Structure 1
Amino acid sequence: METLEAKLGYHFKDRALLENALTHSSYANENRGALGSNERLEFLGDSVLGMVTADFLFKEHPDLPEGDLTRTRAALVCEESLVEVADLLDLGAYLKLGRGEEAGGGRERPSIRADAVEAVLAAVYLDGGLVEARKIIQRFILDKETEKSASRDYKTTLQELVQRESGQVLTYRLTGESGPDHAKVFSVEVDLNGQKVGEGTGHSKKEAEQMAARAAIARLDQ
C-alpha cells in the first residue's frame, strides 16, 4: 500500500479507506467478514471527479458554451481516461478480487480498473478532503489533458474526421476581435458545408481556429 500511496502522492490517515476502495464486489461476496465492496466509494468518486472537472473547465474555458463543456467533461471522465490513470498507478496489481473474477482476468478488465480509480478518489476525498482529491485529479487527469491539448493539431484532426465522407468543405471565418492590441482576443467560427459546427477564441487567429476545430470535433465525433 505504501508504494501505491507514493504513486498517488497522498498518504492515508485511515488506510482502511484505501483498502475498501480496492475491494471488488466479487471479493466482498466471497469474504463476508472482510471489508465491503468499493461500489459505494465508486458512486461518490464519480461525483467528486465530475464536480472537480466541471469546475476546472468552467474556469479554464470561459468561452466554451454549455454543450461543449459537457462533451469535454465527458471525454475527461470516460472509462478510457480512467483506465489510463489506473495504468499509471498500476492499480490492477492492488485490487482484491474474488477467485472467479481473478481467473477471468478481472485485473485487466477496463471497467473494474476505471471503477477502482473513482473509488480511490472518493477514499482520498473522505480521508483528506476536497483539496487533496482535487490535487490528484489535477495531476493525473486535468494536467495530462492540458499537455495533450497543447501538442494536438485540432485543425488537422478535424480535416481527417470530415474527410471520412467525400465532398466535405471546411471553412474558418473570423467573427470578432476584442481587447487592447497587447491582449487582443479573436473569435473564429468553423463551418462544414456552410453550417456552423464550432467556434472558439484565442489570443491569435491561429489559436482561435484551433479552439473552433476542437469544439467541432467534440460535436461531430460522437
Structure 2
Amino acid sequence: MNQLLPTIARTVVAAATLFAAVASAHAQGDVEAGKKKAEMCIGCHGIPGYQNSFPEIHKVPKISGQSDKYIVSALTAYKKGERKHPTMRGIAGSLTDQDMADLGAFYASHADKAAAETPKAPNEVVKALLEKGACASCHGANFSKPIDPSYPKLGGQHADYLFVALKAYTVEGNNMVGRSNGIMAGIAKQYKPSEMREIAKYLSTLDGELKTVPQSRFR
C-alpha cells in the first residue's frame, strides 16, 4: 500500500487543480442571502446534537466552519445523486448554483477559530489505519486543512456521522444509500467497519474548526 501513496497523492493534486480552474467560474456567494436561504437547513443543522435516523441513527454533521467550496461540492453531489441521502437529495435538487453558493458563504462565515497545527497523536492502531488510507494527504496533517477547499474538514466532526459517511463510500447498487467517489471508495473499502469506527472516533476528538450554530426558528 505504501507504494501506492505517491500515486494517490498525485491523483488528488491533479483533481484539486482541475477543480480550482472550474470553480473560478462558479457563482459568488452572499452571506446575507445565504442566511435567509438557510431557513430550510436550521431544522437539522441548527440544533446541537440533532440526530438523523437514515440510514442509521447518527448526528447530523456540523457544517458551520466548513469552507464554502465544500458546502457547494456536497450539495452538488446530492443534487446529482452522487450522494444518495433521500432528504438531502430532495433539498439539494431544489437549489440553484447561486443558492448553493449563498449557503456556502453563510456557513463558511461561522468560522471563528483555527485548528491546532499539530493534532493530538493517535494510538498506534489508528495511526496505521490513517497512513493506510493516506488520509492526511487530502484532509491535511491536522485534518482541518484539506489540500482543496472542496474537500471536507474532518477534525472535531461527530464520530457517528463520520462512520456513516465513510461506510457510504463502500455501498454499491443501492438507490437510497451510498456515495459515488472513486478515490474515497477505493480508500474506504480497505477498512472493516470496526476500523472505520476507530478512525471516526479519533477524528471526532480533535480540536477542529467545525461547530453547530443554533439558529432561531423565528428569525
Bucket of the pairwise TM-score, normalised by the shorter protein: under 0.3
Higher helix share: 1
Work out which structure has the larger RCO, using CA pairs closer than 8 Å and 6 or more positions apart in sequence. 2
Is the radius of gyration larger for structure 1 or structure 2?
1
TM-score (norm 2): 0.26
More strand per residue: 1
